[in-house]
Chains A and B, each alone.
Chain A
C-alpha cells in the first residue's frame, strides 16, 4: 500500500466523539474505524492516489442518512457515497478523508416496479445482477439497459455517472434513463425530483417522467456525489421483444469500423452497436499478451437487435446487411464481413459470449491490480481518427491497445473508451503518462470524459468555459455550503 493520509480531527469535534455519534445512528456492527476495514475503501484499480477514510458506515434506512448528513454538516465532515467502488475513476476515494457511506451492503431494496408505466424504483445498493434476475424471474416482458460491468456494480450509480449500457445505441446515456430521484440534501431535507414532486408525501406511484417541470434531476447526474446523497432512483424499463439476434462484424481499418458504428447506429434498428480492438478481443480468448498480428482484423463490431415478430427482426437484419454492403462497396479497404455472432463464437471460442451476456466480468481485465481508461463521449465522425491516434499512443508506450467504442442514441454521439490493465508497482507511472497523452488527444477532438477522475477534471476545468466553471461552483456552494459531499471531485 502506498502512502495514505489520515485526518485526526474535525472542526469542533474529536474523532472519538464522531465514532460515538455514528454508533448511535447506525449501531455498533454498522460502523468501523479499524484500519483493516478502512483500507479496502482507500483505493481502487485506477492510478488515482489512495487516501484513507476515517470511518465506514453501513446505512439501511434513509432516516439514518439524514441524521448522518445533519451531523456531518454541523462539523464539516466529508461524506463519500459508495456502493461497490468499481467505477474506474477513483470516484469513491475519500480525497479529504471523512466517512464512507457504503450503501452497497444494506440498501439493496427494489422498492417498486410499475409494469404499466415501465419504471422501477431502486435503492443505490441494487446491482445489475440483482436487477436482471428480478426482471427475468418476475417481469420477463421488461428489460433494463445492462452495463458492460460486473454483476455486482450498482445500477443507480451507473445511471448517475452517465454510464453506458447495452441499450445505449438506441436510448443514449444511462443518465437519460432516470425518471426521478430521492435525495438527502446538505441540511437533511429529503427531496424528490421528477414527476413524483407532485405530492407532499413520498408516494411510489408517480415516478413516470422527468419532465416537463424544471429538471432538478440534473443537479445530481454527473456530479459524482458532490451535491447530495441519492437514496432512491426511478429508472426506465423497456419492453422486451420476443425475437433477438446478434451479429458480428469482422473489420479491417478504423475507418471501416467507425463507419459501421455510425451507420448502424443511425439505422435505428439496433439496440447496441459497439466495437473492440483486436487486442481486446484476443484478451478475452485467453491470449496471454494479446498483440494483433499483421493480417488479423483490426476491430470486431458487435450488434444486438430485437423484434416483436420474426419478420420484423428479419427486415431489420436485411436493412443492416444492405447498409453493410453499401459501406463495403464504398470502402477503400473492402476487408469487412458480417456474420452471426453465435456462429462466430461457436467456431472461435465461446468465451466471447461475455460481450453479449452482460452484466458480466471480463475476467482478464481484472487479472492484474490496475485498470484505468479515458472513457469519453465523442463525435461519431472523429472516431476513426481518434482510434488511429490512440492506437499509436498505445504502441509508443508498448501497451496492448484496448479500444472500446459504441454508437449512442441513434448515432447522435459515440463513446470511445481506451482502456488499459496494468501492474501498479511496475507500470503505474508509465500508464499515467499515457493516459494524460490520450486525454490531451481526445480533448483536442472535443471529446468529453465521463466518470472522470480528479486529475482529469482538473485538466478539463482549465480548458473549458470559465463561466461554466463559475456556475458549477455557485451551484455547489448552494447545494453543499460546507463542502461535505465527496470533496475534491470536479475540483469542488
Chain B
C-alpha cells in the first residue's frame, strides 16, 4: 500500500531540485517548469533515470540528472553521462521556431549524439525537451515583432 502511494505521488509531480547558476541552465529550468504538473511529462521523466549532457556547440555543456522524479541541472559536463547531445545554437533556435526537426538536425550534422546506441534514451529525452521548447515559443513575447532571421 505504502509503495503504491509513493509511486502515485511520484507520478503526480516532479521537481527541479536545484537553482541553476548559469544562463543555459536557467533556460532549461524555465522550459521544464510549466510541465512539472503535466501528466505526460511526468510519465516521461519518471521513465528516464539517466544522466544526460546537453551541449550547445561552442557555448558550453550542461548536465541534466533525471532521478526518481527529480531533475538536477548543473553547469558543465558530468563525464559519467548516459547520453550526450551536442547541438548548434542555430539548430536549437531552429527547433524553437519550428524550422528544424530531430531527423533533419541529425542528418545535417547540427545535432550530434554520443552513445547513440541508447536510442531509446535519445527518443525519450527528445520527447521531453523538444515539446518544451516548442511550447515556450508558441506565443511571441515582443509585441509587433516578427522573427525573420
Chain A residues at the B interface, C-beta cutoff of 8 Å: 243-247, 250, 278, 281-282, 285, 287, 293, 295-297, 310, 313-314, 317, 321, 334-335, 337-350, 353, 356-357
**How far does the Cβ of B105 sit from chain A's closest Cβ, in whole Å?**
16
Q: Is B93 an interface residue (CB 8 A)?
A: yes
Chain B: interface residue count, which band? 20 to 34
Interchain residue pairs with CB less than 8 A apart (11): A285-B23, A287-B21, A296-B23, A296-B60, A297-B23, A310-B148, A335-B58, A340-B93, A346-B140, A347-B27, A347-B31
Q: Is B89 an interface residue (CB 8 A)?
A: yes
A250 surroundings in chain B (CB, below 8 A): 59, 89
Q: Is B26 an interface residue (CB 8 A)?
A: yes
Residue of B nearest to A240 (CB): B144
Known: A245-B148, A287-B21, A296-B23. A349 touches B30 (CB 8 A): yes
Top 9 A-B residue pairs of the complex, sorted by shortest distance between their CB atoms: A295-B60, A340-B147, A337-B89, A348-B27, A346-B137, A339-B93, A335-B58, A342-B142, A340-B149
B26 in contact with A296 (CB, 8 Å): no
Residues of B94-132 contacting chain A, CB below 8 A: 96-97
Known: A313-B148, A314-B148. A337 touches B96 (CB 8 A): no
Chain B residues at the A interface, C-beta cutoff of 8 Å: 21-23, 26-27, 30-31, 58-60, 75, 89-90, 92-93, 96-97, 133, 136-137, 139-149
A339 in contact with B89 (CB, 8 Å): yes
B148 surroundings in chain A (CB, below 8 A): 245, 310, 313-314, 317, 340
B89 in contact with A342 (CB, 8 Å): no
Alpha-carbon gap, A330 to B142, bound state (A): 32
Q: Of A243, A244, A281, A357, which contacts B23 at CB under 8 A?
A: A281
Q: Of A247, A295, A343, which contacts B59 at CB under 8 A?
A: A295
B31 surroundings in chain A (CB, below 8 A): 347
Alpha-carbon gap, A310 to B137, bound state (A): 21
B133 in contact with A244 (CB, 8 Å): no
A346 in contact with B136 (CB, 8 Å): yes
B89 surroundings in chain A (CB, below 8 A): 250, 337, 339
Q: Of B21, B58, B59, B145, which contacts A245 at CB under 8 A?
A: B145
B23 in contact with A347 (CB, 8 Å): no
B27 in contact with A349 (CB, 8 Å): yes
Known: A295-B60, A335-B58. A346 touches B96 (CB 8 A): yes
A343 in contact with B97 (CB, 8 Å): yes
Q: Of A244, A245, A314, A344, which contacts B93 at CB under 8 A?
A: A344
Alpha-carbon gap, A296 to B26, bound state (A): 12
A321 in contact with B144 (CB, 8 Å): no
Alpha-carbon gap, A353 to B141, bound state (A): 7
Q: Of A314, A340, A349, which contacts B26 at CB under 8 A?
A: A349
**How far does the Cβ of B133 sit from chain A's closest Cβ, in whole Å?**
7
A338 in contact with B96 (CB, 8 Å): no
Alpha-carbon gap, A321 to B90, bound state (A): 13
Known: A245-B148, A317-B149, A337-B90. A343 touches B23 (CB 8 A): no
Residue of A nearest to B60 (CB): A295
**How far does the Cβ of A199 sit from chain B's closest Cβ, in whole Å?**
40
Q: Which of B23, B31, B96 has the most CB of A within 10 A?
A: B23
Alpha-carbon gap, A458 to B133, bound state (A): 53
Known: A334-B58, A337-B89, A343-B93. A293 touches B75 (CB 8 A): yes
Alpha-carbon gap, A247 to B141, bound state (A): 13
Residue of B nearest to A250 (CB): B89
B149 in contact with A293 (CB, 8 Å): no
Alpha-carbon gap, A349 to B136, bound state (A): 10
Alpha-carbon gap, A341 to B145, bound state (A): 9
A285 in contact with B26 (CB, 8 Å): yes
B142 in contact with A348 (CB, 8 Å): no
**How far does the Cβ of A354 sit from chain B's closest Cβ, in whole Å?**
11
Contacts A244-B146, A285-B23, A347-B136 given; 20 further ones with Cβ under 8 A?
A: A243-B146, A245-B145, A245-B149, A247-B149, A278-B23, A317-B148, A317-B149, A321-B149, A340-B97, A340-B149, A342-B137, A343-B147, A346-B139, A346-B141, A347-B27, A347-B96, A348-B26, A350-B141, A353-B141, A356-B142
Residue of B nearest to A297 (CB): B59
Alpha-carbon gap, A270 to B66, bound state (A): 44
B149 surroundings in chain A (CB, below 8 A): 245, 247, 317, 321, 338-340
B90 surroundings in chain A (CB, below 8 A): 337, 339
Alpha-carbon gap, A479 to B43, bound state (A): 76
Residue of A nearest to B58 (CB): A335
Q: Which of A246, A247, A338, A343 has the most CB of B within 10 A?
A: A343
Alpha-carbon gap, A240 to B43, bound state (A): 49
A357 surroundings in chain B (CB, below 8 A): 142-143
Alpha-carbon gap, A1 to B96, bound state (A): 51
**How far does the Cβ of B130 sit from chain A's closest Cβ, in whole Å?**
12
A244 in contact with B136 (CB, 8 Å): no
Residue of B nearest to A320 (CB): B149
A343 in contact with B146 (CB, 8 Å): no
**How far does the Cβ of B98 sit from chain A's closest Cβ, in whole Å?**
10
B58 surroundings in chain A (CB, below 8 A): 334-335, 337
A246 in contact with B137 (CB, 8 Å): no
**How far does the Cβ of A253 sit from chain B's closest Cβ, in whole Å?**
13
B144 surroundings in chain A (CB, below 8 A): 244
A343 in contact with B96 (CB, 8 Å): yes
Residue of B nearest to A334 (CB): B58
Q: Which of A246, A281, A310, A357 has the most CB of B within 10 A?
A: A246
